[in-house]
Structure 1
Amino acid sequence: MFAFGMDAYIIAGIIPEISSFFQINEAQSAQMVTAFTLCYALSAPILATVLSNVPTKKTLILSMVLFIAANLATIFSINLTMLLISRALAGIGAGIFSPLAAASAASLVPEEKKGRALGLILGGMSAGTVVGVPTGLALSSYIGWQGIFGLVILIALLGLIGVIAGVHEVNAPPPPSLKERVTLLASKQVSATIAVTFLTAVASLGLYSYLAPIISSITDTTQMTPYLWTWGLGGMIGSFTVGHLIDWSKKPRVLLVVILAVMSLSLCAIPFGLLLASPLMFLPFLLWGATGWSSLAPQQHTLLELQPQQGAAVVALNSSCNYLGGSAGTILGAVWLSNSLPIKSMPFAAAIVGICAVIIQLFIVHAHNTKNRVSKEVAVQISFKAGKGVPN
C-alpha cells in the first residue's frame, strides 16, 4: 500500500523532468496522475464481479504482478501514449489490490484487532503519499525519474514476497460491486455527502498534481522537496488528530465545515505565502496537507451513520469518488493550462471549488439539524400525549 500511495502522486514532484525527457508540456505530463487515479477508482467496482470467483490470495498476487509490470513499462516508455497506458495499468493493479487487502487484513486477525489491521492498510497508502513522495523526490536528483519508479517496484516486490510467503489463503468477502455502490446514490443524504468528497478531491488532489509548476512559476525555484515535506507533515498531523477531534466534538458534519474552510483559505494563501522570505511561506502547505488528509474521516463517519447496514459499500463509494475527484481536478488543470490561463492563479480556482464544497456541507449541516429538531419535537409531543392519556 505504501508503494501504491507513492506511485500515485510522485508525479507531482517530477513533472518538469518528465516533460523535458519526453518533450511534452506540463499539462500532458500531469495526465499520468489522471490515468492512474481514474483507473484506480474504477477498476475495483467494475472488476469486483468479474474476479469474484478467483481465490483472494491469487487475485492479490496477480494484481501486484500487474502493478509491478506496469511500472516497468513506465520506466521503458518511449512516448506519451505508452506512458499513459502504463500508468493506467498500474492504477488498475492498485485498484484491484487495495479493497481486497483491506478485507483480507480484517479477516486474518481477531475481532478486537480489526481496527488496527485496517488502520495499517490505510496508513500504508497515506504514508506512501505524505512520506514516500517527498523522500522519492529528494532521491530523484541522484537516481533520475526512472530510478524513482524503480524504487516503487522494489517496495512492491517486498510486498509481493510478503503476500506469497506470509499470507495463507483467506476467505475475505468480495469488495462492493459497482451496482451496490451506485444504488447507494439514490439516497439524497449520501449523494450530497459524496459530492462534497468529490469537490474536495478536485480542489486538493487536483491542485497537488500541478504543485511543481505552480511553485516554480512564482519563486523561480526547482527545489520542491521542502514544500512536499511540509505538505506531508501536515497530512500526518491531520490524519492522526482528526479522529480525536471527531470524538471530542461529536459533530463530524460541523467539523468538516471548519476543515474545508481552512483548506480553502490555505489554497488562496499559497501564491502570497510563496513570496515571503520566511518560514511562514510553508504555512499554507502545512494547513493544506492537514485539512486535505483529515477531510475523509468525518465523511466516513457520516456515511456509516447514514448507512450502517451498507458500511463497506458506502465507504468504498466514498473512496472511489475521492480518486475520481482527483482525476477530474487533474483534467481541469490541464484545460486551465491549455487555455493559457496563468498558472499562478490555479490555487484560487481550486479554492473556489473548495468553497463550493463548504456551501454544500453547510446545507447538509442545516438539513441534519432540522431533522434532529423535528425528531425531538415529535418525541416531546408523543411523550406529552402519553402523559395525559391521549392515544399515540
Structure 2
Amino acid sequence: MRKVLLLTTGMFALGFDAYVMAGLLPEIGTTYKISDSQSGQAVSVFTLCYALAAPIFATALAGKPVRKTLVVALAVFSIGNGASALAQNFPMLLVARAVAGIGAGLYSPLAAAASASIVIEEKRGRALGMTLGGMSMGTVLGVPLGLMIAEHIGWKGTLWCITAIGVIAMLGIITSFPNFPSDAPPSLRQRLGMITDRRVSATVGITFVASIASLGLYTYIAPILQNLEGIQNVTPYLWAWGIGGVIGSFSIGPMIDRTRRPALLMAGILAILAFAMFSLPSALKFPVLAFLPFVFWGAVGWASLAPQQHVLLRLQPKHGATAVALNSSANYLGGAIGSTFGGIVLFAGLTPSYFPYAAGCVVLVALFGQLILMLINKKESKASQICDKR
C-alpha cells in the first residue's frame, strides 16, 4: 500500500485544484470584472479538458511505461496551474485551466488503474478507494486551506500552492514508484467493442448522468447558498462536503471488498445522493441540520467512482486503464456539462435556488438506469446458469 500512497499524493493535488476553484470564483470574477456565469467557465473548461484528455491520452500512451506517463501527466498539470497563477486576463486563465485539465485527465485514470494493478485481487477495492481518497483529502484539507491562502495573498497564491504540491508528487513518483510497462494497447476493434459493449456503455452512462448533477451543482455552491439563505461564507459548507468525501472515499473500498456487489452499492449511493440534494434547501433553514446534506452529498459523490471502476475493471481486465479512463472522462464531461448549463441558467436570469431540485431529478434518472441495468444483468446471469446446467 505504500506505493499506492505515492499515487494518492498526486490525486490530492488534483482534488485540491478541481474543487477549490468553486470557492475562488467570486475573487476571480472581481479580478477580471466578470459575472458569476462567466467565471464559472473556469471550472467548465478544466473539467471538459479533463474529460477529453482521459480517453485520448489513454489511447495515445497505452503500452508506455507507467511511471514515465504519470510523471509527464503531473508535469503538464503543474505547468497549467503555474500558468493559471500568471494569467493576466480571463482568456489566458481559461487556456491555462485547459492545460491543467489535460494533465489531470491523463493522471487520474492511469493512477487508479496502476493502484489496482500493484495489489492482489482481494485488496483492489481498498486500493481504488485509497487512490480516490487522495482527491477527497485534497478537497477536505486543500479547499479550506486554499481559501485561507486566498484571503491573505489572493487566489493566485492558492494556485501556486497547488503547483508546488504537484511538483512534490511528481518527484516522489520519479524516485520511488516502480517502473513497469502498462498493458498492451487495445486494437481499434477492441476499443470499438469496449464502447459498444452494452454493459460498459451503460455503466459509463450512469456515471455521466450522476456527475452532471453532483459536479455541476458543486460549481455553484456559493450563489446557491447566497440565494437560498443569504449565506456569504461558503467555507464551512465546503468543509462539510469534503469531510463527507473523505468518509465516503475511504469506506467504499472495504465495502466493495466485503460485499462483492458494487452495482448494488452504486444504487444505494444514488438514492442517498438524490435525498441529499432534495433536502438541501429545507435543511439550510435549520442550523442544526444545515451541514448534513453536504456531508451525505460529499460522501456518496466521492464514493460513486470506485464501484463503477471496479465493475469496469472486471468487464475489461486486459484494458483496465482504458476502461477507467472512459469512466473518468464521462465523470468530468458530465461535470463540464452541468457547470456550463448552470452558467447558462444564471446568465438567463433564473434563480439558483432551484438548482438542488433540478440536480436531484437528474440523479433519479441515473438511479432508474442503475436499477434497470441490475435487473438485466440478473436475468442474463440466471439464463447463463440455466445454459451451463444443460
TM-score normalized with structure 1 length: 0.86
Q: Pairwise mapping of residues 178-327 of structure 1 onto structure 2 (< 5 A)?
A: 181-276=191-286, 278-327=287-336
Aligned residues: 379
Q: Distance in 1 between the 2:185 and 2:254 partners?
A: 28
CA contact (8 A) 1:103 1:175 kept: no
AA in 2 matched with 1:88: A
1:340 is matched by which residue type in structure 2? Answer: G
Which of residues 357, 362, 366 in structure 2 aligns to 1:348? 357
- Percentage identity across aligned positions? 46
Paired with 1:244 and 1:49, the residues of 2 have a C-alpha distance of 31
Partner residue in 1 for 2:15? 5
Q: How many angstroms apart in 2 are the aligned matches of 1:65 and 1:117?
A: 24
**Where does the alignment leave 5 or more consecutive residues of structure 2 unmatched?**
1-9
Residues 347-386 of structure 1 mapped to structure 2, 5 A cutoff: 347-378=356-387, 382=390
Q: How far 1:167 sits from its partner (Å)?
A: 4.8
Post-superposition offset of 1:193: 1.5
Distance (whole Å) between structure 2 residues aligned to residue 120 and residue 243 of structure 1? 7
3-state SS in 1 of match to 2:289: helix
Quote the Cα distance in structure 2 between the aligned partners of 1:110 and 1:247.
13
Per-residue CA deviations over 1:224-243 (Å, capped at 9, x if unaligned) read 11111111111111122223
- Map of 1:154 onto structure 2: 164
Q: Distance in 1 between matches of 2:155 and 2:387?
A: 63
**1:37 corresponds to which residue?**
47
Aligned AA (1:348): Y
Q: Partner residue of 1:385?
A: none
Give the counterpart letter for 1:256 in structure 2. M
Counterpart of 1:10 in 2: which secondary structure?
helix
> How far has the Cα of 1:178 moved from its partner?
8.6
Change (3 A) 1:323 1:177: farther
Question: For 2:34, which of 17, 24, 39 is the aligned residue?
Answer: 24
Post-superposition offset of 1:78:
2.3
Letter of the aligned partner of 2:321 in structure 1?
A: A
Does the C-alpha gap of structure 1 residues 51 and 242 become closer, same or farther in structure 2, counting only changes over 3 Å? closer
User: Of the two, which has the highest radius of gyration?
Assistant: 1
**How far has the Cα of 1:152 moved from its partner?**
0.5
Q: Aligned partners of 1:112 and 1:260: how far apart in 2?
A: 26
CA drift at 1:145: 0.8
Does the Cα contact within 8 Å between 1:37 and 1:327 map onto a contact in 2?
Answer: yes
- Aligned-residue offset at 1:55: 6.1
Q: What does 1:54-203 correspond to in 2, within 5 Å?
A: 57-101=67-111, 115=124, 120-167=130-177, 170-173=180-183, 181-203=191-213
Counterpart AA for 2:313: L
Aligned twin of 1:389: none
Tell me the distance in 2 between the aligned counterparts of 1:251 and 1:53.
31
Q: Secondary structure at the match of 1:36?
A: helix
Report the Cα offset of residue 332 of structure 1: 1.4
Contact 2:128 2:306 in 1 (8 A): no
Aligned-residue CA RMSD (Å): 2.9
Listed as ranges, the gaps of 5+ residues in structure 1 are: 383-392
Give the structure, 1 or 2, with the largest relative contact order (CA under 8 Å, sep 6 or more).
2
